[in-house]
Structure 1
Amino acid sequence: MKQIPSKRDVLAFLADNPTQTSKRDIARAFGIKGAARVDLKALLREMEAEGTLTKRRASYREPGKLPPVSVIEVTGSDADGDLLARPLEWAEDTDPPVILLALRASDPALGSGDRLLARLTATPGEAHAYQGRMIRRIGTNPQRILGVFRAASEGGRVMPIDKGSDKQWTIAAGATNGARDGELVEAEQTGPKGRMGLPKARILTRLGDPTSARAVSLIAIHQHGIPDHFPDEVVAQADAAKPASMNKRKDLRDLPLLTIDPADARDRDDAVLVQRDGDGFVIWVAIADVAHYVTSGSALDVEARKRGNSTYFPDRVVPMLPDTLSGDLCSLHEHVDRACLAVEMHIDADGTKISHQFHRGMMRSVASLSYEQAQAARDGSPDAQTAPLVDDVIAPLYDAYDALRRARETRQPLDLDLPERRIELDDDGKVTAVNHKERMDAHRLIEEFMVLANVCAAETLIAKKTPLLFRVHEEPSPEKLDALREVADSAGLTLAKGQVLRTATLNRLLAAAAGTDSAELINIATLRSMTQAYYHPENFGHFGLALRAYAHFTSPIRRYSDLIVHRALITAHGWGKDGLSPWDIEHLDATAKAISDTERRSMTAERDTTDRYLAAFLADRVGTEIGGRIAGIARFGVFVKLDGTGADAMIPMRNLGAEYFHYDAETQTLMGSDSGTVIGLGQRATVRLTEAVPTTGGLLADLIELDGATLPRGPSKGRSKPGKRRVGPAKAKAAKTARKVSRIRKAKR
């Protein structure tokens, strides 16, 4: 075991290495490993208590010294006209040190009050303590706020829409950008607090009516607390990143790897290649090496973990990483060298994996294709970009996919058929159409390759006994299966009881519903019966994919879980010092919970945004009749999934007619007390849209027809109310309702 360094040794190391100030850096410098780290930690705490060291976040430095990169504020100029500055963060009892700015000819003109991120160099013996060189002006990354503008006699204020926030910003008369009272605006800070105690700001964008379509996603971002502004330190760290070198990487640049993504993709984090190998194939999946740039404990890492994932809206993306990384250095653009983690997977002619091996390499994409381009090339209509790639690059991809598809049919993962909606917006953010995204073999090909790569990551880390985060999906609960069974019964289908549940069982139900009027309902009900997937350090399997072990490896640009898996692979293979840190391992449970929560937060925000966009789109159709299908029954009303948009409109009980409807939770039906009309899941319905509220996404409707027949309206004197029900008659009526429902189901069969 290495001897613990003396306090003088520690101080000397920090003085000589101002950028290596974390406990891990100190331990590495003195060769401290294992249990000796406890003694080092005790030494650092003792020095901190004595005042010979100060701790800033996860790093140590001598008291009275600034970190090599700091946020500073220009205070004015000296007698020679040189600009001076002070640190914005200074916790010592002494006066803050003076910083002399050494400006380049290319640097912008600066004045008192300007804030900078600067690289500092100590200047012993000079009148100033440090010399500073500007990295970037903080003004180019100011804090932003979304709020409602309230006009005043001169300028006005921005009132935040964030829940629980009462912070207001003052807007000078010349900084309103023409905003009118009551408009939703986006503003950015321009200065510190003024004489009224409010920070100064200027209005960047007028978004008009807070209830308009253009404001929808911005409101969701703020209501759900999704961070949409990167701190200065994070942006500076991303801006300072440089392309990775070949250092100990496998050279994959001669492999014709390519990316296939949506046509409007801004980032490309996965590339693929297939090589024929006798009757089988070698499938390569290369993923951007994000771990090289986002190291454990860094400002970038802290922010990425806080966000957990990128969040996608119809009109914008809130990314997990700054665009410098996600759109450039970690994006596998064509014809440029990019660092990657790649997995080489050998499969046989039936799609069974024979072996796999991971590499840390350097690749160069030969093409960045859209799904439509790749599919057109496969279908015999290549363009100028894909024509040279058809035979040697594109055709093998599809041949390997055919083999994997055969293996998939044997494995029987859950085969849901739920077309994804695509909301199309014009330049003003108004919904112009709601369509279903086309699903092509190009999409399925990439999905199958990614699933296989994720399986390989999990298997490798299990074999090497390296901590990781699994993607866990547990089987449905008995209660949810009973609910699905009721929906199936209402559609004249059967989901048998008393057998071990497998995805193949559910696939048989889905196959039986395919091509019928109940197909969409059964798919939705099956999805709702599933438990929600989550992240966990322990492996509980993935029910939906019918896999024993599964981990997310393929999207570290937009999912923090994948970044943890990348670090685990780096640690497991001994590829460098940027793998899992002791902190990562110690906090795996907390990280799993945190990113599972942020994933749900994003899903909720995305769903709320979709609902609001659909409500805005349908607002012009209030009063018109729309077809749909009964998709939900509750004590308070009925939900109808509308044709075309897939939006859910609610019909409150009071809108069902003049009679009283008895709710049966077991059969998921409503029965009219006077007419005997039974409303059940899956029935065709025609509704009249009565209300569409974009601010909430709420849709209300009246029920006009049920299975093509006009709904009986009950007694003409008004809605009848249920009398006081005696137990005996109540049971008899329930039995009668059940018999009637049974007859209806048999008739449907």
Structure 2
Amino acid sequence: MQKPPNRSSLPTEKKILEFINHNSRPLGKRDFVRYFRLSTSNRRMLVGMLEDLVKEGKIQRGRNRRYVSNDYLPSVSVVEVKGLDDDGEAILKLSDKHFEKSKEKIFLNSKPVIKPAPGIGDKLLVKLKAKKYGYEARIIKRLQKDPINLIGLFHSQPDCGLVTPSDRRLKTKFIINTKETNGAVDGELVECETISGREFGLPRARIIKIFGNSKTVNAITASIISKHGIPQQFTEPAFLQAQNSKAVPPKNRADIRHIPLVTIDDKNARDFDDAVWAERTKNNDGWHIIVAIADVSHYVRQNDPLDQAARNRGNSVYFPNTVIPMLPEKLSNGWCSLLPNEDRPCLAVDIWIDDAGNKKRHKFSRCIMRSAARLTYSEVQDSYNQKKEIDSNISFNLIDNLYGTFFSLDNHKKKRGAIDLDKQEYHFSLSQEGSIVGIEKRVRLDSHRLIEEFMILANQCAAETLESNNALCMYRTHERPDTISVRDLRKYLKLLGIKFGDGQSVRPLHFSQLIEKTKDRKDALGIQDAILRCQSRAVYSPKNIGHFGLALRRYAHFTSPIRRYSDLLVHRALINSLNTPNREPENDNLETFIEYGSHISMTERRAMAAERELFDRMAALYLWNQEGNTFSGYVTGVERFGLFVEINEVGACGFIPVSTLEVGYHQFDEVRRCLFNERTNTKFQLGDYINVRLKEVNLATGGLVFEVKQKEKKF
């Protein structure tokens, strides 16, 4: 034990870390107070410092708010077998959620021998012992096993079946007894349930569901929906409630049907939940905007069957070939959709801004509206560029006013320093039968940005209104990047000759200036990827910490209640604050909002993971017969074992093993994020443009393996 310091002032971060690292047990607040002899006034600040160290990943918080070093694990623990490596050895992970972020590797000691051998899903009580290479786990006893379901590709064999898991973390195939194939045929995607024991050295499983041929988009989509546990069927009460919905009478609502509000969406969109309109102010010193949003809260009341179903789903999930809506189609594409020339209830916000984009005031109203036209992004952009009318119901003056407002808002956005990473998006074209015809790059038009800025402004108004009324609000929060991520980014940029930010604290403006300054560099994509990795994840919470990326002090999602439950919560809160007739009693409290925020943040991550996995699997299917073809791309990641690349033609990501690079030893530079070959004096680093040859396509996982053909020399 170190000698206690002779002072009562607050210790430095270095001293706290030294104290924790020199102790082999978890430390509570009292341990720190005694050791550092802290005064009462410094104790609360100490807890804040400890929590900051946890957020930055320098220490971890265990049970009962006790703090330990990152390499600490309890001597007796419950572990779960999460998978098997290439050698068939068990991959173990602690079951205790307090240590779920630990990066320490746990290896299973072969003694004592237990039969059958531990399989995937087994839970084991083990004794852990620290070793140079990680922790060694000796089995005390096997606990009750929870069967694990997994998705994979079925391969028919003469005497059995094999399933290759779609989860890339599972490095082994599963063997299926011929009596437990459930009629699956070679090449089908299936869902399996693991079984204890092994045959021929492989873990066992039985097939419980068949999705169809692995080379069809519908089968791939169905397997991913099942894998991620996305709810598909509505309960009967929820479905019947939607079916019995009716039109909303205009009584007790402001009538804005005379205002030519328009919806602007993608050409394939079916649910229209926002409409916009703009004109010059009377004094000709700015803009008057109206953003009208479908009044979903009229149809979905708190804790009714539809509300329970919507809350469970959290959000709609969009796939190239289908949509899993948050609300039944009768509402999402019907009564809650702002269809042209149809009366619809809405919650509208009038906003007044000056020519510099500064908001002067705003006002929310519960209204009845009638959309004048359903427009697409390309139609609106063409109308503005060519100075022509789109529709007989819509004058060109409206389009001109919308763009005038957008330019004011865009200038204000740049002034406040909002981060705008314009990542390239891709779109699959499908035939009527559902097969992939091609992949196209999405073009981001000013009309897209126009709607984005209108929605951001309306969302900002919603958060401000609720905060000013001391009402519960489901904020959309985005925390500033942690110290370690910023430090690593600075090191990387310094090696590129780029100075980033002043002092310890960074602001959104620093990032936006960096993006603008480096946009024409040959390594611009690598720099943007590094910036993106530096950012924290946006979440939903009733506790406001601001939105770092948008450079806003308060922000909430309000504009998409058809497809996001967070927006529905905000609508209800706004309607209650308006004191209008037919408003609902406020039954929610801070604790329930915290639970809701955690849940809908999870469902959002689930949807994003499912959408990304489907993209990878569809890209693999599209490239299935193109092994040997050459593609252009750029390096998105560098590790000591190889390179990660994204190919420009498809937007798919793949891997280049270090063993396939040019002859010689490649040294990994973690700071520069590059692999350097001293023999040939060449290097591969983040953002490099390279030509690659496709070597292997894995339909089960969507994995692609490439080899370098040559680095591009001209940019």
TM norm structure 2: 0.69
For 2:316, the equivalent position in structure 1 comes to 310
Q: Is the 2:166–2:701 contact (alpha carbons within 8 Å) kept by the matching residues of 1?
A: no
For 1:323, the equivalent position in structure 2 comes to 329
Give the Cα–Cα distance (whole angstroms) in 2 for the partners of residues 321 and 702 of structure 1. Answer: 45
Distance 1:323 1:281, change over 3 A: same
Residue identity matched to 2:355: A
Q: Is the 2:278–2:405 contact (alpha carbons within 8 Å) kept by the matching residues of 1?
A: yes
**Deviation (angstroms), 1:474:** 0.9
1:214-253 Cα deviation digits (max 9, x unpaired): 4222221111011111121211110011111223111111
Give the Cα–Cα distance (whole angstroms) in 2 for the partners of residues 263 and 450 of structure 1. Answer: 19
Distance 1:433 1:483, change over 3 A: farther
For 1:395, the equivalent position in structure 2 comes to 400
For 1:241, the equivalent position in structure 2 comes to 245
**Deviation (angstroms), 1:183:** 7.5
Size of the aligned set, in residue pairs, is 525
Q: Is the 2:189–2:220 contact (alpha carbons within 8 Å) kept by the matching residues of 1?
A: no
**Deviation (angstroms), 1:644:** 1.9
**Deviation (angstroms), 1:685:** 2.0
For 1:274, the equivalent position in structure 2 comes to 278
Q: Is the 1:295–1:578 contact (alpha carbons within 8 Å) kept by the matching residues of 2?
A: no
For 1:368, the equivalent position in structure 2 comes to 374
Give the Cα–Cα distance (whole angstroms) in 1 for the partners of residues 279 and 683 of structure 2. Answer: 59
Q: Within 5 A, what are the aligned runs for 1:472-487?
A: 472-487=477-492
Q: Is the 2:546–2:552 contact (alpha carbons within 8 Å) kept by the matching residues of 1?
A: yes
2:439 to 409, 434, 437: 434
- Describe the SS at the equivalent of 2:394: helix
- Describe the SS at the equivalent of 2:479: coil
Give the Cα–Cα distance (whole angstroms) in 2 for the partners of residues 517 and 702 of structure 1. Answer: 22
Give the Cα–Cα distance (whole angstroms) in 2 for the partners of residues 147 and 289 of structure 1. Answer: 42
For 1:252, the equivalent position in structure 2 comes to 256
**Deviation (angstroms), 1:416:** 1.5
Q: Is the 1:627–1:686 contact (alpha carbons within 8 Å) kept by the matching residues of 2?
A: yes
Q: Within 5 A, what are the aligned runs for 1:152-191?
A: 181=185
1:652-700 Cα deviation digits (max 9, x unpaired): 1222244332222222222336445332222232222111123211011
**Deviation (angstroms), 1:486:** 4.4
For 1:684, the equivalent position in structure 2 comes to 689
Give the Cα–Cα distance (whole angstroms) in 2 for the partners of residues 518 and 674 of structure 1. Answer: 24
Residue identity matched to 2:280: R
Give the Cα–Cα distance (whole angstroms) in 1 for the partners of residues 585 and 708 of structure 2. Answer: 58
For 1:337, the equivalent position in structure 2 comes to 343
Give the Cα–Cα distance (whole angstroms) in 1 for the partners of residues 299 and 705 of structure 2. Answer: 49
**Deviation (angstroms), 1:283:** 0.3
1:286 to 288, 292, 312: 292
Distance 1:496 1:452, change over 3 A: closer
Give the Cα–Cα distance (whole angstroms) in 1 for the partners of residues 306 and 590 of structure 2. Answer: 18
Larger radius of gyration: 1
Q: Is the 1:320–1:559 contact (alpha carbons within 8 Å) kept by the matching residues of 2?
A: yes
Give the Cα–Cα distance (whole angstroms) in 2 for the partners of residues 677 and 255 of structure 1. Answer: 64
- Describe the SS at the equivalent of 1:429: coil
Are positions 1:593 and 2:602 aligned together?
Answer: no
Q: Is the 2:220–2:614 contact (alpha carbons within 8 Å) kept by the matching residues of 1?
A: yes
For 1:722, the equivalent position in structure 2 comes to none
Give the Cα–Cα distance (whole angstroms) in 2 for the partners of residues 473 and 285 of structure 1. Answer: 24
1:486-517 Cα deviation digits (max 9, x unpaired): 44346553324525311221122211221232
For 2:125, the equivalent position in structure 1 comes to none
Give the Cα–Cα distance (whole angstroms) in 2 for the partners of residues 357 and 544 of structure 1. Answer: 26
- Describe the SS at the equivalent of 2:623: helix
Q: Is the 2:431–2:437 contact (alpha carbons within 8 Å) kept by the matching residues of 1?
A: yes
**Deviation (angstroms), 1:454:** 0.5
Are positions 1:408 and 2:394 aligned together?
Answer: no
Residue identity matched to 2:342: V
Distance 1:642 1:490, change over 3 A: farther
Give the Cα–Cα distance (whole angstroms) in 1 for the partners of residues 634 and 396 of structure 2. Answer: 46
1:210 to 211, 214, 221: 214
Distance 1:566 1:708, change over 3 A: same
Give the Cα–Cα distance (whole angstroms) in 1 for the partners of residues 498 and 430 of structure 2. Answer: 39
For 1:228, the equivalent position in structure 2 comes to 232
Q: Is the 1:377–1:386 contact (alpha carbons within 8 Å) kept by the matching residues of 2?
A: no
Distance 1:655 1:147, change over 3 A: closer
For 1:264, the equivalent position in structure 2 comes to 268
For 2:536, the equivalent position in structure 1 comes to 531
- Describe the SS at the equivalent of 2:395: helix
- Describe the SS at the equivalent of 2:628: coil
Distance 1:657 1:391, change over 3 A: closer
Q: Is the 1:296–1:578 contact (alpha carbons within 8 Å) kept by the matching residues of 2?
A: no
Give the Cα–Cα distance (whole angstroms) in 2 for the partners of residues 363 and 378 of structure 1. Answer: 25
Question: Unaligned regions of 5+ residues in structure 1, if any?
Answer: 1-145, 152-158, 164-175, 188-202, 710-747
Distance 1:580 1:183, change over 3 A: farther
Give the Cα–Cα distance (whole angstroms) in 1 for the partners of residues 287 and 673 of structure 2. Answer: 50
**Deviation (angstroms), 1:412:** 1.8
**Deviation (angstroms), 1:398:** 1.4
Q: Within 5 A, what are the aligned runs for 1:502-651?
A: 502-579=507-584, 581-583=586-588, 586-651=591-656
Residue identity matched to 1:681: L
- Describe the SS at the equivalent of 1:621: coil
For 2:132, the equivalent position in structure 1 comes to none
Distance 1:494 1:502, change over 3 A: same
Give the Cα–Cα distance (whole angstroms) in 2 for the partners of residues 665 and 685 of structure 1. Answer: 20
Q: Is the 1:288–1:340 contact (alpha carbons within 8 Å) kept by the matching residues of 2?
A: yes
**Deviation (angstroms), 1:387:** 4.6
- Describe the SS at the equivalent of 1:692: strand
1:315-344 Cα deviation digits (max 9, x unpaired): 111110000000000000111110010001
Residue identity matched to 2:456: V
- Describe the SS at the equivalent of 1:378: helix
For 1:43, the equivalent position in structure 2 comes to none
Q: Is the 1:214–1:428 contact (alpha carbons within 8 Å) kept by the matching residues of 2?
A: no
Give the Cα–Cα distance (whole angstroms) in 1 for the partners of residues 311 and 250 of structure 2. Answer: 28
Q: Is the 1:564–1:580 contact (alpha carbons within 8 Å) kept by the matching residues of 2?
A: no
CA RMSD of aligned residues (A): 2.9
Q: Is the 2:372–2:394 contact (alpha carbons within 8 Å) kept by the matching residues of 1?
A: no
Give the Cα–Cα distance (whole angstroms) in 2 for the partners of residues 281 and 294 of structure 1. Answer: 33
Give the Cα–Cα distance (whole angstroms) in 2 for the partners of residues 563 and 300 of structure 1. Answer: 12
For 1:118, the equivalent position in structure 2 comes to none
Distance 1:493 1:617, change over 3 A: farther
Q: Is the 1:284–1:344 contact (alpha carbons within 8 Å) kept by the matching residues of 2?
A: yes
Q: Is the 1:296–1:580 contact (alpha carbons within 8 Å) kept by the matching residues of 2?
A: no
1:181-209 Cα deviation digits (max 9, x unpaired): 4576999xxxxxxxxxxxxxxx9xx9751
For 1:72, the equivalent position in structure 2 comes to none
Distance 1:584 1:340, change over 3 A: farther
**Deviation (angstroms), 1:257:** 1.1
Q: Is the 2:692–2:710 contact (alpha carbons within 8 Å) kept by the matching residues of 1?
A: yes
1:581-624 Cα deviation digits (max 9, x unpaired): 41465410000000000000001111111111111122222112
Give the Cα–Cα distance (whole angstroms) in 1 for the partners of residues 529 and 305 of structure 2. Answer: 41
- Describe the SS at the equivalent of 2:240: helix
Distance 1:587 1:669, change over 3 A: same
1:402-441 Cα deviation digits (max 9, x unpaired): 2222222221211222122222222333333222211122
Residue identity matched to 2:505: V
Question: Unaligned regions of 5+ residues in structure 2, if any?
Answer: 1-150, 157-162, 168-181, 192-208
**Deviation (angstroms), 1:388:** 4.7
Give the Cα–Cα distance (whole angstroms) in 2 for the partners of residues 391 and 217 of structure 1. Answer: 42
- Describe the SS at the equivalent of 1:679: strand
- Describe the SS at the equivalent of 1:215: helix
